Amino acid sequence: MINNHPNTQLLTDYATGGLSMAPLISITTHLQFCDQCREAVSGLNILGGELLTECDEAELSEDLLAQTLAMLDAPMMANAETAARPLSPVSARTLQVNFLSTCIGF
């Protein structure tokens, strides 16, 4: 059904977080309909996870965990912009569609 796919470099750019907004939206949309590319991205994310796991550790401040634990009970205060924004995949998708129509609109 889908004949055009983002190339490997674009999928890698996507997985590393290197894409700017417009191509990012294109790829996100494509992934929703394309199992093959989703499988490729899934592998690229696993690579990200492996690179993370194999990374040299950097010591954290002693109280960072305690501070973070305290924030868990007050997510609104901890991170008003992001932590208090539970978006289901469905609403995320709606938002994408809305955002896309806004983009296409102009």
- The Cα–Cα gap between 37 and 30 comes to 8
Number of residues that bind other proteins (CB under 8 A): 76
Three-state secondary structure call for residue 13: helix
Per CB under 8 A, 33 contacts other proteins? no
The residues in 37-76 that bind other proteins, with binding defined as CB under 8 A, are: 37-61, 64-65, 67-69, 71-72, 75
For the CB of residue 102, give the shortest distance to other proteins in the complex, in Å.
10
- The Cα–Cα gap between 6 and 34 comes to 10
- The residue among 20 and 101 lying less far from other proteins, judged by its C-beta, is 20
Judged by CB under 8 A, which of 1, 62, 76, 89 binds other proteins? Answer: 89
- The Cα–Cα gap between 18 and 10 comes to 9
